[in-house]
Amino acid sequence: MSSQDIATGLLWFLAFLFSTTVHEAMHAWAAMRGGDLTAYHAGQVSLSPIPHIRREPFGMLILPLLTAVTQGWAIGWASAPYDPHWAARHPRRAAWMAAAGPAGNLLIALASFAVLKVGLLSGWFVAPPFANFHTLVASGAGEAFGGIATALSILLVLNVFLAVFNLLPLPPLDGAAVLGIFVPEAQMNHLRAIVHQPWAQLVGLVIAWKIFPFLTGPLFGLLLRLLHPTEGYS
């Protein structure tokens, strides 16, 4: 890998660390608002990555840093604790807690998209000759804006991918628990019992990893069309 590849990989790592911290902090905040203080007492109602790294050091720090410097992108995982007895007593609140994490990623994506659009309209950014996951725009105002363009591109793509992946309605992903928002309350604990079966989580994760690569291309194409409606990217 070149020094430029490593630098881009480190931007992916920083974007992953920030985005995952927001995701887990949103879970923790929603649980706190719903009456479960478990994650709050663990310090995870926080935008500091430290309590989240402390809980999942390999998934939050070691693996994403390794993949960032060797592959040019970051992958990992994180988690926020909650009281399963609280979730059983308040299944609807638990479902909203699950939805809060992807909602945090969507907020980051919307903010990144808005800044990119403003930059394009202002001439700070321009459509790149070739687009990829870390180059949705190119600098139109000198080198100083090149790093900003890359960082915002990564934030937008990463958070759209994180939100969509986590909302797949398969255990152990958030989407399986989010289904509880739409299920009649009498059936919600039955759904939770299935979702928390180890075999269901293993099967769900395998299926999710098989399905998601087919979604990344259409999602990326949609982002390009929204950012550059007059360009003919293929």
What's the pLDDT score for residue 37? 98
Give the model confidence (pLDDT) of 111-136 as tens digits. 999 999 999 999 999 999 999 999 99
- Strands (DSSP E) contained in the chain are 125-126, 138-139
Which strand (E) or helix (H) includes residue 74?
none
pLDDT tens-place string over residues 51-78: 999 999 999 999 999 999 999 999 999 9
pLDDT at 234: 66
Nearest-10 crossing angle of helices 91-122, 185-195: 80
Let me know: does 110 contact 164? Beta carbons within 8 Å. Answer: no
